[in-house]
Structure 1
Amino acid sequence: MGEKNGALDILTTTTDKLFSWCMANSLWPMTFGLACCAMEFMASAAPMYDTDRFGVILRSSPRQSDVMVVAGTVTNKMAPVVRTLYEQMPDPKYVIAMGICTIAGGPFRTYNTLQGVDRIVPVDIHVPGCPPRPEAFIDSILLLQEKIKREGVLRWKPPPLPPAPSGIGHSLEPPRPGESVSPVPEGMLPPHRS
């Protein structure tokens, strides 16, 4: 590869290192707080921890973000929203799952709780805890920065999206007049007792 177009390889490698350094040091996470983990996430942006010193600037729009931080319990009803917001983010994009409820459902092993956000979006960094401390979130930012520098931005390929779990593949659009929508997806209702 180096023999054929050596100058091109040098240029691409140098450019990739520059872009990776820029991207790693200017992460723009989109906040998606669903429960108590969001409080610790917000504390990490406060003056005591100050994530701005790592180049982290919080955004409220998925179209301006390159990192999605999912913090809290994701229900089956909220899962399509999380997936849609992820798909609206520009490439390259990364996901941080913050808290045990986000990672594996936490203590909520019920029919309406998603048992891990990695079932609907690919997760790059898991931050365990209930809730995780702001220091743990800062560590996840540093880990993500290292990952970006190591893997490069120009070589980034979108990870395959996991299939949507059964029962939550419905559209986010409101029903049209005359159209009925069941509030509980098929197969999620308990058996009828007579």
Structure 2
Amino acid sequence: MSDTNKDIIMAEAPEGISGAGFFATSLEKVIGLARKHSLWPLPFATSCCGIEYMATMGSHYDISRFGSERPSFSPRQADILMVMGTIAKKMGPVVKQVYEQMAEPRWVIAVGACASSGGIFDTYSVLQGIDRVVPVDVYVPGCPPRPEQILDGLMRVQELAESESLRRRDSPEYQALLASYNIK
């Protein structure tokens, strides 16, 4: 063996079966990888957080690196509902209807303090968090959150999408990942 080959460290193959010229893995892992890199967000923006989302879509932050370059404005074609901004109580049923129109698997991101908890608007007319009408998978804090935080929230949903079982959210791996984010 020559001296140049001594320093080469072979990386371990990912979980699966490999051999001469082939690699096999489970169908769930392949589908999880495909889901992870092809999420289509549905932006439901009502306030300042929508402006930050526009910056996230721009070339400087480039959300397309994560496979989410195509925002969907039809719930039937979207994977992620991104609620950004203040949601009035009268809009709660609309958010719920949009969520119910989305096909499985679907995820929800509450972007900003207003969508997460009502923000500074502790009044009778403002919904104090969208988790009162739809289940939320990831909360992105901030008023408004920076584009980097929105991208971090998207990456957390990517991890959820990759680890989610084909049998939906019943898998122990998915539940453990939710528990690590303190999500119920």
TM-score after normalising by structure 2:
0.76
Report the Cα offset of residue 151 of structure 1. Answer: 2.5
Q: Which residue does 1:20 correspond to in 2?
A: 32
Q: CA RMSD in A?
A: 1.3
2:105 to 92, 97, 111: 92
Partner in structure 2 of residue 40 of structure 1: 52
Q: Name the structure 2 match of 1:51.
A: 63
Q: Could you tell me which residue of structure 2 aligns to residue 187 of structure 1? A: none
Q: Cα offset for 1:157?
A: 4.0
**SS at the partner of 1:77?**
helix
2: CA distance between counterparts of 1:139 and 1:49? 12
AA of the residue aligned to 1:119: R
Structure 1 residue 72 corresponds to structure 2 residue 85: yes
- Tell me the CA shift for residue 150 of structure 1: 2.1
SS in 1 for 2:90: coil
CA distance, structure 2, for counterparts of residue 146 and residue 89 of structure 1:
20
2:160 maps to what in 1?
Answer: 147
3-state DSSP of counterpart to 2:110: strand
In structure 2, the partner of 1:189 is none
Q: Output one character per residue of 1:77-135: Cα deviation in whole Å (capped at 9) or x when no partner.
A: 11111000000000000000000000000011111110000000000000000000000
1:81 aligns with 2:61: no
SS at match of 2:89: coil
Aligned equivalent of 1:118: 131
Query: Alpha-carbon deviation of 1:18?
Result: 0.9
Distance in 2 between residues matched to 1:65 and 1:29, nearest whole Å:
6
Code of the residue aligned with 1:61 in structure 2: it is: S
Report what 2:180 is aligned to.
none
Superposed CA deviations along residues 15-74 of structure 1, whole A, max 9, x for unmatched, are 111111101110000010011111001110011111011100211110100100000011
Structure 1: state its 5+ residue gaps. 1-12, 159-194
Identity %: 48
Q: Which amino acid aligns with 1:19?
A: I
Aligned structure 1 segments of 4 or more residues deviating by more than 4 angstroms: none
Question: How many residues in Structure 1 have an aligned counterpart in Structure 2?
Answer: 145
- Please give the alpha-carbon distance, in whole angstroms, between the structure 2 residues aligned to 1:45 and 1:72: 17
The AA in structure 2 aligned to 1:118 is D
Task: Name the SS for the 1:78 alignment partner.
Answer: helix
Normalization by structure 1: what TM-score?
Answer: 0.72
Distance 1:69 1:24 in 2: 16
Q: 1: CA distance between counterparts of 2:100 and 2:169?
A: 14
More helix by share: 2
Distance 1:42 1:131 in 2: 12
